[in-house]
Structure 1
């Protein structure tokens, strides 16, 4: 035996207020939406009008909303108003009709967020007597035929507030909400006799208006709506998806993780002014205001439904922004450079998948290099192959040495930089860019002069013995700048080999053997301390007769080079830092 589900109306109201709608303020939107849909259903030629009367006019504390729409018969009242989820806004097959704002059949229930009783009087355009419907918060309703209740075709809804919700029906609140949600609706909306609707969309070009005047007017609209003067205004017109509006590029730098906040209208009814998901993630520096007839709202009508239409519109809007960026780089290079500097993360991210923007970034975005802050194109003109390091600290360490040796080095340690250079290799070939290995600098350094090398031979052997516990080899070289006594070069492969050895010591034999095969290396040193034989301090190492002082000096040079490299310090390195500093301090004090 089949049975029907029972519905607890109070539970449904609690569900709407706490989980579906973000605030009771949406009741005004739902009332306006139902009224405008009723006028749409009646058809053209009637002069659609919605009259809202607050307690200032009604005089009894109630709110009254009247329209000259299609109206309801007694049967329609029973079928549509008293069944949760049933809506008149569907075709004969049950599919949602696209010319209406609402599609879900729960809008009128939102009035219970602020009212304990809803009274409705309606006369249908199809004839028959007027009908009175009264619904209460406890789930009970009455329907009576009252031919004197309303003379004209249309509907009047009256809300009786609860003791704690009267402020939601006050004139100031209702007028503000009606203007916010409905000022662009294609019907005349009045609140206590004041017309709130405007005849045109704010971004539509007025007769005889120039492009410059339109941009100035939209810039003012952006400041009022989003709170910032735009860097650029991009008109949006996509007839295929029924979308018009404007995109505003922010003048100030924005964080890539910031929430997108767009102002969205669906069929000229405001969905929200902080709606996300309209643009691709990389376009975080753009804010939009649009009206669309194709996008679908969620059941709460406070967000957009993620469907194929939204994905297509998102891609199309992304293409509009990208095309504008390319044109800007070709026609206004100074503005393009300024924009890229402010929004470089977003530009870099899209340049990874778009060759046109890759060229734009290459031409106008500055990078940190040994030649100063220059664009990638300028750097490539000076150096046939872009040598780069993906680590900021490594660049800081190697840049002075590379510059002194006449090598060009680029810092690719920031977000997307390494990926951009890899993409450049894919587009322009293997010779376009290459990651530099720190050991390559050894090949560019001069061998020490024979006399200096001979004088330092004993010191180098002493240094190797001292630094053996740090797994560090010692290599003498002659390089600039002379002021740098030593350079620490780290071999990442050998560091992994050392780490694997330590793990293997505590592992079972099979796992230890596997680690050994994966990390086999011909060299056991994970670091190299390159002593600069041109540096006066290094040259004086050979003059030290006190072995303990010589060992202390070597360890101090190692710690100094380690700090210069900005590498993480291991416990043994921290111990060496403390030991060398305190011992040198003790020697200085005892003198």
Structure 2
């Protein structure tokens, strides 16, 4: 008997030519993120079957019905399978019924969602047995064919009378395993069907155990007709709340006809961290591909969440992410340009909305403005910066200060801000992401404004020298202070400056900090590495502790003659200046603060005790 004749015998058993259990393990533990994808694969196969039928029979019905309760079935009105198709496509791992074995389906190839021919096998992740009952639509009076496969790798094929499947199409039945019953529970199936198939163009209905029907898909809100722009806006806002859980600040239509992409971007109403790359929902021909597609937009566009449907993007093998290729890169750039156009348009069309947007997302605008000259010219004057005049825009700040000084770090700004403000210097904190680069581009937008990096010498120039007699009177205390504080790579000087309430100022620069870091590493290392670090020692300016002679506490401190108290006072002044700079403390500096506090407390208690005894 020939092989074909053997295959035609009802109930004849056959075996896959692979280790199916191993393949199912591969699918469930390495390819797919969760067993729940089984329903996506079933829906995907059903949609492609309908697409194939409509390619050869325009106007053919397009329905997908999922029935729950006990076994799970999914029925489509698609092209169906002939007996030869069953042998070719269900008995050969990796082959797809969408490979256009029939020439008339070739034209419809681009409309198929699936590309890998392993969808049905994914169902073995939740079931030990799968039954496929199908009847081919292109052959009038064609018999029905039943394929029954088991997870042990065996399958049977039976040819049944046509009335076993009255209508063309396919019904897939899963017998779930007990340990996977949660994935085929009625409520779970309805949720999964809505999650994956909510934007499918064909009717998808879930029928519950008691016959109740739930339509799980609908036309996307951006494609529906609305009575007014306000009604459309509210419909999109409701879709955003249902999808992402927030009410958008605004919506941006995304329409790229060349790429076959439509959708909407929802602008977040509150600030988020740039590192928080929450994903976007990407549908491929209506089927959800991923709800965590971080690669869809440029990195700077972290202030929106998108829902898009595309016909041109390519999925990875798991169909849970986007394949990085030239198409994705082009779409990413085009979507970035669309969001940028929306942003620039706000300046002219809705300044109030622009203000609200910048209040929440100025960091994103700064990131984009660094590389976009047009956006820089339009939006830089609106962006807030931390300055010695408070949090103000550069436009406002430049009106008061023709010369704008910018620090290289947050630490430098906090060191000099009180003194610079009192001296009338205009300083911008350039330590935050993008700020320093943007401030240096201010002259391009506002000619006549000068911008330069802040040099400690600039601040020092605004510190007045003290009277020589006062310097001489304080010589004893200064000598002790220089001896004690010098151990922390810091010099001590006496000056007068505003505000009077500031007893001391710590002037430090990056070179000095780098040198201290190198010295700390060298001290904690040994052997060759310590020698290498030692050879890198640089002759750089040391930090300076500037004592303010206008401050009453400092004037009193300079009269101290008792060495122990002078040491404690010098350490306390240095510690207070350290805290004002808000930079991280080294272990030795933390110990100094603790020692100075205890020393001053001990001295105060001793003085109080002596006064009590004298009384």
TM bucket by the smaller chain? 0.7 to 0.9
Q: Say which of 560, 569, 574 aligns to 1:558.
A: 574
How many Å separate the matches in 2 of 1:507 and 1:23?
51
> Match of 1:98, SS?
helix
User: Could you tell me how far apart the structure 1 residues matched to 2:137 and 2:538 are?
Assistant: 84
Alignment of 1:5-44 (within 5 A): 6-43=17-54, 44=57
Question: The residue matched to 1:258 in structure 2 has which SS?
Answer: coil
Equivalent residue, structure 1, for 2:279: 261
Distance in 2 (CA, whole Å) between partners of 1:400 and 1:431 is 23
**CA spacing shift, 1:364–1:304, aligned 2, 3 Å:** same
Query: Cα offset for 1:367?
Result: 1.8
1:360 shift after superposition: 5.0
Partner residue, 1:187 = 202
Query: Which runs of 5 or more structure 2 residues have no equivalent in the other structure?
Result: 1-15, 611-615
Per-residue CA deviations over 1:61-112 (Å, capped at 9, x if unaligned) read 4433333322222222111111011012235799992111111111111222
Per-residue CA deviation, residues 345-367 of structure 1 (Å, 9 max, x unaligned), is 32222222222333455222222
Structure 1 residue 203, shift from structure 2 partner: 1.4
Question: Any idea what the Cα deviations from partners look like across 1:290-339, whole Å, max 9, x if unmatched?
Answer: 11111122222222222221221111111111111111133322322221
Moved more, 529-538 or 241-250: 529-538
Determine if contact 2:506/2:578 at 8 Å carries over to the other structure.
Answer: yes
Offset at 1:501?
Answer: 7.1
Name the CA shift for 1:570/1:150 in 2 (closer, same or farther; >3 Å).
closer
- CA distance in 2 between counterparts of 1:121 and 1:372 reads 73
User: Where does residue 444 of structure 1 map in the other structure?
Assistant: 462
In structure 1, the partner of 2:215 is 196
**Who is 1:535 aligned against?**
551
Residues 372-387 of structure 1: pairs in structure 2 closer than 5 A: 372-387=390-405
In terms of mean alpha carbon deviation, does 511-520 or 554-563 score higher? 511-520
Cα distance change, pair 512–259 in 1 and its aligned pair in 2 (3 A): closer
Q: What stretches of structure 1 of length at least 5 have no aligned partner?
A: none
Residue 544 and residue 88 in structure 1: after superposition, are their counterparts in 2 closer, same or farther (change >3 A)? closer
Deviation at 1:342, TM superposition (A): 1.2
TM-score normalised by structure 1 residue count: 0.87
Distance 1:246 1:332 in 2: 19
Structure 2: how far apart are the matches of 1:444 and 1:292?
62
Give the drift of 1:425.
7.2
Q: Residue 548 and residue 187 in structure 1: after superposition, are their counterparts in 2 closer, same or farther (change >3 A)?
A: closer
Instruction: Report if aligned partners of 2:68, 2:206 keep a CA contact under 8 Å in 1.
Output: no
Q: CA deviation at 1:13?
A: 1.7
Which digits, 9 at most, give the CA deviation of each residue in 1:464-516, with x for residues without a partner?
45544444333332211122233222254345556667888998999969966
What is residue 112 of structure 1 aligned with on the other side? 124
Say whether the 8 Å CA contact 1:48–1:187 is kept in structure 2: no
Aligned to 1:403: 421
Judged with a 3 Å threshold, the aligned counterparts in structure 2 of structure 1 residues 307 and 544 are, in CA distance, closer, same or farther, namely: closer
- Provide closer, same or farther for how the CA distance between residues 167 and 436 of structure 1 changes in structure 2, counting only shifts above 3 A: closer
Q: Choose the corresponding residue for 1:140, options 149, 154, 172.
A: 154
User: Structure 1 residues 390, 150: CA separation in 2 closer, same or farther (over 3 Å shift)?
Assistant: same
Residues 234 and 90 of structure 1, relative CA distance in 2, 3 Å threshold = same
Measure how far apart 1:442 and its partner are: 1.4
* Cα distance in 2, alignment partners of residues 551 and 175 from structure 1: 75
1:211 to 223, 226, 229: 229
The 5-angstrom pairing of residues 192-591 of structure 1 reads 192=207, 194=213, 196=215, 200-206=219-225, 209-359=227-377, 361-422=379-440, 424=442, 432-457=450-475, 459-461=477-479, 463-494=481-512, 496-497=514-515, 519-521=538-540, 526-540=542-556, 543-546=559-562, 549-570=565-586, 573-574=589-590, 576-590=592-606, 591=610
Evaluate the alpha carbon distance shift between residue 272 and residue 512 of structure 1 in structure 2; reply closer, same or farther with a 3 A threshold.
closer
The answer to whether 1:123 aligns with 2:135 is yes
CA contact (8 A) 2:190 2:216 kept: no
2:193 is the counterpart of 1:178: yes
Give the Å deviation of 1:461: 4.7
Superposition CA RMSD, Å: 3.5
In the alignment of these two chains, the number of paired residues is 580
- Please name the residue that 2:5 is paired with: none
Q: 1:102 is matched with which residue: 114, 121, 131?
A: 114
SS in 2 for 1:327: helix
Q: Deviations over 1:148-203 (max 9, x none)?
A: 33354333333334444456445444344333333432323344474626563221
Residues 510-557 of structure 1 show CA distances to partners (whole Å, capped at 9, x for unaligned) of 996996687245x6xx12222323233333456445455445544443
Check if 1:46 corresponds to 2:66. no
Q: 1:73 aligns with which of 56, 76, 82?
A: 82
2-side partners of 1:180 and 1:261: how far apart? 15
Structure 1 runs of 4+ off > 6 angstroms? 92-96, 425-431, 501-515
CA distance in 1, matches of 2:271, 2:552: 47
423-432 vs 78-87, which deviates more?
Answer: 423-432
Is the Cα–Cα contact under 8 Å of residues 49 and 189 in structure 1 kept in the other structure?
no
Report if the CA contact (8 A) 1:230-1:249 is conserved.
Answer: yes
Alignment TM-score, normalising by the size of structure 2: 0.83
